[in-house]
């Protein structure tokens, strides 16, 4: 792993579908339509290993749908994608997670009537006590359970949730649930975490610590791909930004390059947002619309 | 009114055949609904298979009672797979619809004239459990404390029956306290979250459906053996709902809840019946209001009323944790 993931991306051209030096996730021609609407139509996308990649775009750009497709929660109409060289097309969601690509959800899924520590322990993969018959023999899984519990407690400590250890997750605040969900995803020792709007509904004070956690995840060697609306956060934490609009990847690049990118600004604010309409312009438009309506009749 | 008789009968009901059979049905449902969040409305179907599995093997085919027990369990497993394969990938409500219909289909198959060669239609099958009582090690006599006592055969059945309940209790306790139990509880809370953490949700739901169904079938087997009779219409949908009532009264997703709930349910049923009959007999309730023939219906009304009161003043059931109710499930 390169010492500075950002430096590794220095020579990557800031254009949609750019090749990365060491991609962990590669998607090709992934398409998903809902009725007549092309929700996702991603030509080519690579996500650099060990980096924090932000996926941004206006509402309805298809970011969450794209997440769902990549993680097996939805099935695309076309396309393939590989994770660390292994094709994930048609692989079910739980297998994707076992392969090391773990996601969180936009609407946080804390398991309310499980305690915080149980939530955490659930995240660990490869538990022998999760098999029906071995579950009946506590002697078989008790040792592993203790190790998992120890790791869970360390993570809770790190995410400042240790004092909530034995409370039901349903009693946590919205921000704490985000923290819990992120910590729980890490219990699976993922190679890549996909965070769907980790900052939504989180107060500014907690945001800063969430940012630190995301950086920590990267320093552990885990690749991060996250969807976010908060541009400050995107600029602050990400090594690379991918912009989606109307289902397509319209721009890519380092975070500082994007605020000046015409396509991106247009996608967010509309193509003519800064050009004042002259009176002639307006009249010409009206005429063409009326003409079109007239010929339709 | 003879309070001693009324109370004795209530205690007999609490430890009796029906209480243990419904305890098993409710333990199965608790695994489905309480821990995994599966809405199984077809527990009567599992019970029917448990009962007919043994009854047909012995009465129709002349096989052994123990072969019947094996068949009862096998049929429950097959039925669970049959229900689960198409529905467990779908949302929870589909399972509810399919199970309630499938249980009714089983009942109609059992009573249909075309099956009468095997099931004897709506007459049902009788006298097939002699083998069970032949191995009764208890010498003839009366077993129990004071007036709550049973004959040797009844005592033998209760002993075995409550033994099965205890075994089901131990198995479910071990399971729900294990990591396996943690997974099924997480599926109850949010199956997508479980999936996102690498759990094969479909397989876990299937395991839960099969195990809970088999426990229900054991209840059916014991019921058939104890009364030496099966009759299709005694496995209608209300049976499932009574089991749910027992479960919810005792406390959903608690280990002792289904057992205590079933005992309470049958005790209340017996108490209300005893009190009503006593009151009518003693003239406290004039026959212009109700007579002895109406007791059967009115006691269910009173059971309903007492359950409503329970839900108002103790909505978590006898053993439930009130904190859990305060959290929204999602």
- CATH number of the domain to which B133 belongs: 1.10.3470
Nearest CA in chain A to B208: A132
CA distance B322 to chain A (A): 11
pLDDT for A19 beyond 70: yes
3-state secondary structure (DSSP) of residue A85: coil
Size of interface A-B (CB pairs under 8 A): 110
Distance CA A183, CA A213 (A): 9
Q: What was the pLDDT predicted at A1?
A: 46
Distance CA A138, CA A127 (A): 12
Summarize the confidence of residues B146-160 as an average pLDDT: 89
pLDDT band at A277 (very low <50, low <70, confident <90, very high): low
Rounded to the nearest integer, the mean pLDDT of chain A is 87
Among A88, A97, A122, the strongest candidate for a mutation testing the B interface, having the largest count of B CBs within 10 A, is A122
Share of residues in chain B with pLDDT > 70 (%): 99
**Among B178, B323, B327, whose Cβ lies nearest the Cβ of A129?**
B178
Please, are residues A65 and A40 in contact by the beta-carbon 8 Å criterion? yes
Distance CA B49, CA B80 (A): 11
Nearest CA in chain B to A94: B198
pLDDT band at A76 (very low <50, low <70, confident <90, very high): very high
- In sequence order, what are the beta bridge partners of A83? A25, A86
Phi, psi dihedrals of residue A197, rounded to the nearest 5°: 50, 65
Query: Where in the sequence is the domain holding B140, given as residue range(s)?
Result: 3-326
Nearest CA in chain A to B201: A94
pLDDT for B142 beyond 80: yes
User: Residue A11 CB: number of other CB atoms within 10 A?
Assistant: 7
Q: Which ranges of B190-256 would DSSP assign to H, the alpha helix?
A: 191-196, 201-227, 237-250
Q: How many domains does chain B have?
A: 1
pLDDT band at B329 (very low <50, low <70, confident <90, very high): very low
Q: Between chains, do B197 and A138 touch, taking CB under 8 Å as contact?
A: no
Chain B positions in Cβ-Cβ contact with residue A130 (cut-off 8 Å): 178-180, 182-183, 199
Lowest-confidence segment of A98-107, A122-131, B122-131 by average pLDDT: B122-131
**Among B171, B186, B201, whose Cβ lies nearest the Cβ of A114?**
B186
pLDDT band at A274 (very low <50, low <70, confident <90, very high): low
pLDDT for B298 beyond 90: no
Q: Which residues contact B126 (CB under 8 A, 6 or more apart)?
A: B59, B228, B229, B230
Summarize the confidence of residues A77-84 as an average pLDDT: 93
Question: Which is it for the CA torsion B185, B189, B191, B194, positive or negative?
Answer: negative
Chain B residues with at least one Cβ partner in A under 8 Å:
171, 174-175, 178-183, 185-186, 188-190, 192-201, 207, 211, 253, 323-324, 326-330
Lowest-confidence segment of A208-217, B68-77, B87-96, B159-168 by average pLDDT: B87-96
CA distance B265 to chain A (A): 27
Q: What was the pLDDT predicted at B117?
A: 84
pLDDT per residue as tens digits for the range A228-244: 887 888 888 999 999 99
Q: What was the pLDDT predicted at A297?
A: 52
pLDDT per residue as tens digits for the range B177-211: 999 999 999 999 999 999 999 999 999 999 999 99
Q: What was the pLDDT predicted at B330?
A: 40
Structural domains in chain A, CATH included, are: 5-110+188-260 (3.40.50.300), 112-171 (no CATH)
**Among B174, B193, B327, whose Cβ lies nearest the Cβ of A168?**
B327
CA distance A94 to chain B (A): 4
CA distance A68 to chain B (A): 10
**Among A112, A171, A184, whose Cβ lies nearest the Cβ of B197?**
A184
Q: Which residues contact A225 (CB under 8 A, 6 or more apart)?
A: A25, A47, A53, A54, A55, A192, A193, A194, A195
Lowest-confidence segment of A210-224, B70-84, B278-292 by average pLDDT: B278-292
Chain A residues with at least one Cβ partner in B under 8 Å:
71, 73, 93-95, 97-98, 102-105, 109, 111-114, 118-119, 121-123, 125, 127, 129-132, 135-136, 138, 141, 145, 168, 170-171, 184-185, 187-188
pLDDT for A262 beyond 90: no
Best CA proximity match to A194, nearest among A66, A19, A38: A66
Among B89, B171, B198, the strongest candidate for a mutation testing the A interface, having the largest count of A CBs within 10 A, is B198
Buried b / exposed e over B168-196, threshold 16 CB at 10 Å, is bbebbeebbebbbbbbbbbbbbbbbbbbb
pLDDT band at B99 (very low <50, low <70, confident <90, very high): very high
Among B89, B196, B200, B206, the strongest candidate for a mutation testing the A interface, having the largest count of A CBs within 10 A, is B196
CA distance B137 to chain A (A): 31
Lowest-confidence segment of A182-186, B12-16, B107-111, B137-141 by average pLDDT: B137-141
pLDDT per residue as tens digits for the range B243-293: 999 999 899 899 999 999 999 999 989 998 899 888 888 888 888 888 888
Share of residues in chain B with pLDDT > 90 (%): 58
Summarize the confidence of residues A10-24 as an average pLDDT: 86
Structure tokens at A151: 């790791």
Q: For residue A294, count CB atoms less than 10 angstroms from its CB and return exposed for 0-12, middle for 13-18, buried for 19 or more.
A: exposed
Q: What was the pLDDT predicted at B127?
A: 83
Chain B positions in Cβ-Cβ contact with residue A187 (cut-off 8 Å): 197
Q: Between chains, do A132 and B207 touch, taking CB under 8 Å as contact?
A: yes
């Amino acid at each position: 792993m390169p010492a500075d993931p950002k430096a590794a991306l220095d020579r990557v051209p800031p254009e949609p579908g750019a090749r990365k030096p060491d991609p962990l996730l590669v998607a090709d021609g992934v398409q998903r339509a809902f009725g007549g609407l092309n929700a996702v139509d991603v030509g080519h996308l690579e996500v650099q290993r060990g980096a924090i990649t932000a996926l941004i775009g206006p509402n309805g750009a298809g970011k969450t749908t794209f997440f769902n497709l990549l993680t097996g929660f939805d099935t695309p109409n076309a396309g393939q994608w590989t994770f660390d060289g292994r094709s994930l097309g048609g692989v079910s969601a739980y297998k994707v997670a076992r392969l090391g690509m773990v996601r969180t959800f936009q609407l946080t899924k804390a398991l309310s009537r499980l305690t915080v520590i149980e939530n955490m322990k659930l995240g660990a993969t490869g538990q022998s006590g999760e098999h029906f018959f071995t579950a009946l023999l506590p002697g078989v899984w008790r040792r592993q359970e203790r190790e998992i519990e120890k790791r869970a407690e360390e993570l809770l400590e790190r995410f400042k949730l240790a004092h909530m250890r034995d409370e039901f997750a349903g009693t946590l605040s919205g921000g704490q649930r985000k923290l819990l969900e992120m910590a729980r995803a890490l219990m699976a020792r993922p190679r890549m975490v996909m965070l769907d709007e980790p900052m939504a509904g989180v107060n500014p004070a907690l945001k800063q610590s969430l940012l630190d956690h995301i950086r920590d995840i990267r320093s552990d060697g885990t690749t991060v791909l996250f969807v976010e609306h908060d541009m400050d956060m995107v600029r602050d934490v990400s090594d690379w930004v991918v912009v989606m609009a109307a289902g397509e990847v319209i721009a890519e690049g380092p975070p500082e390059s994007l605020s000046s990118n015409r396509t991106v600004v247009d996608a967010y604010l509309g193509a003519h947002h800064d050009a004042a309409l002259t009176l002639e312009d307006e009249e010409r438009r009206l005429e063409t619309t009326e003409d079109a309506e007239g010929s339709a009749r | 009114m003879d309070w001693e008789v009324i109370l004795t009968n209530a205690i007999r009901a609490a430890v009796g055949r029906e209480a243990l059979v419904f305890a098993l049905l409710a333990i199965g449902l608790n695994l489905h609904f309480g821990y995994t969040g599966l809405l199984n409305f077809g527990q009567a179907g599992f019970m029917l298979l448990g009962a007919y599995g043994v009854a047909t093997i012995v009465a129709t085919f002349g096989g052994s009672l123990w072969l019947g027990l094996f068949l009862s369990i096998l049929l429950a497993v097959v039925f669970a797979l049959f229900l689960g394969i198409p529905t467990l990938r779908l949302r929870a409500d589909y399972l509810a619809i399919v199970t309630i219909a499938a249980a009714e289909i089983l009942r109609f198959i059992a009573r249909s004239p075309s099956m009468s060669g095997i099931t004897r239609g709506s007459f049902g099958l009788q006298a097939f459990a002699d083998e069970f009582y032949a191995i009764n090690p208890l010498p003839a006599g009366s077993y129990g404390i004071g007036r709550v006592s049973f004959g040797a055969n009844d005592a033998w059945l209760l002993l075995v029956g409550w033994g099965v309940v205890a075994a089901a209790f131990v198995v479910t306790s071990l399971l729900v306290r294990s990591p396996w139990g943690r997974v099924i509880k997480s599926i109850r809370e949010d199956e997508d979250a479980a999936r996102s953490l690498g759990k094969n949700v479909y397989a876990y739901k299937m395991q839960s459906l099969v195990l809970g169904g088999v426990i229900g079938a054991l209840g059916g087997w014991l019921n058939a053996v104890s009364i030496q009779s099966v009759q299709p219409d005694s496995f209608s949908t209300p049976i499932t709902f009574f089991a749910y009532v027992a479960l919810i009264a005792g406390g959903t997703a608690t280990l002792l809840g289904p057992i205590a709930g079933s005992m309470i349910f049958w005790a209340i049923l017996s108490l209300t019946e005893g009190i009503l009959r006593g009151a009518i007999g003693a003239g406290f309730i004039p026959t212009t209001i109700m007579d002895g023939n109406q007791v059967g219906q009115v006691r269910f009304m009173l059971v309903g009323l007492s359950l409503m009161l329970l839900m108002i003043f103790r909505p978590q059931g006898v053993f439930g944790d009130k904190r859990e109710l305060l959290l929204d499930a999602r």
